[in-house]
Each structure stands twice: as structure tokens, then as C-alpha cells.
Amino acid sequence: MKKEILSRNVIVLSLVSLFTDVASEMLYPVMPIYLKTIGFSIILIGVLEGFAEGLAGLSKGYFGKMSDNTGKRLPFVRFGYALSALSKPLLVLFAFPVWVFFARTLDRLGKGVRTGARDALLSDEATPETKGRVFGFHRAMDTTGAVAGPLLALIYLSIWPEDYKMLFILAFFPGILAIGLTFLIKEKKVIEAKPVKKIRILEFVKYWKESPAAYKKLVAGLLFFTLFNSSDVFLLLKVKEAGYGDTFVIGIYVFYNLVYAVFSYPLGSLADKWGMKKVFTSGLLVFAFVYIGFAFFEHQWMFVFLFFFYGIFAASTEGIAKAWISNISDPSQTATAIGTFTAFQSVGILFASSFAGLIWYSFGAEYVFLFGGIAAFVVVVYLQLVKEKRSF
């Protein structure tokens, strides 16, 4: 019997991600503004975001390993989404910096708890021949939330300007809907629980040492690219510094996410037919083209053009990277394999953004984008040496 590509679990998990992203992205454009209104300095905002993202990165590896050891996925998925939903109204309950740190950390911790288990659950629903489509569909739905969230925030704030606290409370409701949907997921017994033992916070680092050679080779290339793939904030900052207003900046961010959402499933389907490597490396070539374009062009129509292709890059790489990793990992270690990658990736992104800020300040924006474009070309050459065939 042919296995259904978009099963009930895949569709429900994708809807859960969609509504969670609606909640998160409703707040993305206003988070720095809100924090400044309650007395946070730019430095304190940076410390808050850096700490929260660092914790999320470490927890992805830790909870991914725990999911594999217990042989369970759904409890981690449900609890992780619950933490993120609860954090939204908590952010405005008190204005004390310590409380805000706690609430923001809770949100990122929720992401860490669920990521490895959720991606493993998606992998369990697919075959090696359909993983591009499964992960692509999930990314498409997730990113649709990143389109809807900022648009809802813009509409709300156009009617009730600067009413940030109510916006945070309203963001709780799509989060609650996401939690409710998790009760429609049916977990299949696909792995046996391992003997219970204490798991250290950096236990996933041990997996790196024990992982298959194919995993090490692939993830090493992906992480090298991460070191030069700085935050999207730098792209938006480039647009802002070119003299364009906030409406255009937010609008082009929404446009990028829309392109990302529309092309994620078709490119995932193409990866199943052509191979993960071909589509992924094509995406890196697009990234190189976009970054080099950002180094030299500042016209409005050119920014629209570049952000269109930046959406193509994201659709060609984000979900496909996880699908590729799951295809070369033991099914009983999928959450650990993806959790380990995303943990190291989070640390790499922090380094990349810090490095980009230093280069921007010292030499200028064009060097940030030139270095990123050149690094993408290097990784494309390296990945030609990496096999994508399933090891298990």
C-alpha cells in the first residue's frame, strides 16, 4: 500500500506551526519598540535576545536527545508549543527586566523543547523519497504564519497605535489554538525507549563524536555556511540605510516570507525528484547571488528583486537541510541528529551576526554581503563531495 505523502499528522503539525508563527510574528516587528518603552536599552535588548537564542540552541540538542532516549515525540511537541504560547501574555504581565528575561527565555525554551521531536515526528511520517515534500509543506505552512502575523500586527496598530500590551495578549490566542491542535496528532510507536539515565545539557555533543561519517561531513558544511549567514536583520538594515521607510521595510519582509511560503513545497517536491543535494546547493548559489547583489545595489526595485530570490533561497534550504539530515540518520536517533545540528546552528548564527556587525562597523555593509556570498560558493564546492544516499 502506497504511503500517503501529506498524512494527517503532517497536516496537523504544519497547522500547529502556522498558528504558532502567527503568534510569534505578530510581535516580531514591535518587540524592540515595546522593550524600549519599558526601559530596555539597546545593549540590554541585545543581551536578552542573545541569551534567549543561546538557550534555545542548547536546549534543541538536549531535548532532541531526551526524545530519542524516551522513545516519545508528542509530549515534547505539546509541552514546547505550550511554553511558547504561555510566554506571550507573560511578557506584559510585569515590566521588570528580570521578569521579561524569564518570559522571553520561556518562549525560546519552548522552541528548543519541541524542535527535534517535531522534526523527528515529521520524518517518521515520510519515506526517503517523500521527505522533501513533507518538510517543504511544513515550512510552507510555518512561513505562511510569518506572513499573516506581521500583517495582523500592522492592521491592529493602524487602528490602535502603540497599544502594544493588548497585542501581546491577543497573540496568546493563536498559540492556544496551536496547542489544541496537538491533541489531534497520533504518535506512532517507531522507536524503543533506551535505558533511562541522566542526560547532561551538552549530551548532544557526544552524538557528534559517535555519529556516522556522512552526517559529520554534511553538517560540517552546513555549519560552515551558518557562520556567514547572519541574521535577516542586516538585510532589512541595509534597506533602511538606503533611505526607505518602515512601511517598505516591513512590507518587503512580509513579501520575502510570502515567496518563501509559496515555493517551499514545490522545491521540496523537486528535491525528492532531483535529490536533496542539487536543490540545496542551487539554493546556496541563489544566496550568493543575492548577497553579492546587496553589496552593490540600493535601488528600490532591485531590493524587491533580491528579496524575491532570497525567499527562493530559504525555500530551497531550510526544510531540505533537515530532510537530508534525516535521510542519513538512524531513525532511532533522528531527534538527536536534527537537534544537534540546530543546536550548533543556533550558536553559529550568534557568531555570524556578531561577526557581521563587527565587519559592518569596521569596513562597511558591502563586505558583510561579499564575505557571505563567497562563503556560499565555497560550501557549494564542498557539498559536491558529500553523499546524500540514506545510510540506514
Query: pLDDT class for 192, splitting at 50, 70, 90?
Result: low
DSSP conformation class of 178: H
> Which of these, 282, 292, 289, 346, lies nearest to 320 by C-alpha position?
282
Q: Give pLDDT, residue 311.
A: 95
pLDDT tens sequence across 84-142: 999 888 888 777 777 887 888 888 889 889 988 999 899 888 888 889 899 999 999 99
Residue whose C-alpha cell reads 526601559 in the numeric block? 39
Q: What is the mean pLDDT of residues 380-388?
A: 84
CA atoms of 162 and 310, how far apart (whole Å): 31
Q: What is the mean pLDDT of residues 176-184?
A: 94
Q: Give pLDDT, residue 10.
A: 93
CA distances (Å), 269 to each of 4, 323, 334, 389, in order?
A: 14, 12, 21, 17
CATH match of 8-186+203-383 with 1.20.1250.20: yes
Q: What is the mean pLDDT of residues 198-208?
A: 70
Alpha helices in the chain (DSSP H): 8-27, 31-37, 42-70, 74-90, 97-124, 131-159, 164-170, 172-182, 203-210, 213-226, 233-241, 246-274, 276-296, 300-327, 334-363, 365-383
Q: Give pLDDT, residue 193.
A: 55
Query: pLDDT class for 201, splitting at 50, 70, 90?
Result: low
The three-point CA angle 378-382-234 to 5° equals 40
- pTM, two decimal places: 0.82
CA atoms of 81 and 73, how far apart (whole Å): 13
> Which of these, 335, 290, 280, 337, lies nearest to 311 by C-alpha position?
290
Q: What is the mean pLDDT of residues 209-227?
A: 90
Residues 6+ apart with CB under 8 A from 293: 302, 305, 306, 369
3-class secondary-structure state, position 126:
coil
Residues 6+ apart with CB under 8 A from 263: 311, 312, 315, 316
Q: Give pLDDT, residue 267.
A: 94
Cβ atoms of residues 164 and 34 within 8 Å: yes
Q: Give pLDDT, residue 331.
A: 81
Residue 44 clears pLDDT 80, i.e. is over it? no
Q: Which residue has the higher pLDDT, 131 or 50?
A: 131
Q: Give pLDDT, residue 65.
A: 83
Q: What is the mean pLDDT of residues 35-46?
A: 68
The three-point CA angle 30-144-309 to 5° equals 90
Residue 18 clears pLDDT 60, i.e. is over it? yes
CA atoms of 67 and 310, how far apart (whole Å): 33
Task: Look over the chain and give the mean of its residue pLDDT values, rounded to a whole number.
Answer: 85
Residue 78 clears pLDDT 90, i.e. is over it? yes
Domain boundaries defined on the chain: 8-186+203-383
Half-sphere exposure of 177 (CA within 13 A, CB side): 16
Q: State the sign of the Cα–Cα–Cα–Cα dihedral 212, 214, 219, 224.
A: positive
Q: Give pLDDT, residue 1.
A: 41
Residues 6+ apart with CB under 8 A from 165: 92
Cβ atoms within 10 Å, residue 163: 12
Query: pLDDT class for 371, splitting at 50, 70, 90?
Result: very high
Cβ atoms of residues 110 and 59 within 8 Å: no
> Which of these, 138, 174, 109, lies nearest to 13 by C-alpha position?
138
Indicate the helix (H) or strand (E) that contains 167.
helix 164-170
CA atoms of 16 and 29, how far apart (whole Å): 21
Residue 210 clears pLDDT 60, i.e. is over it? yes
Query: pLDDT class for 232, splitting at 50, 70, 90?
Result: confident
Phi-psi region of 290 (alpha: psi -120 to 50; beta: other; left: phi over 0): alpha
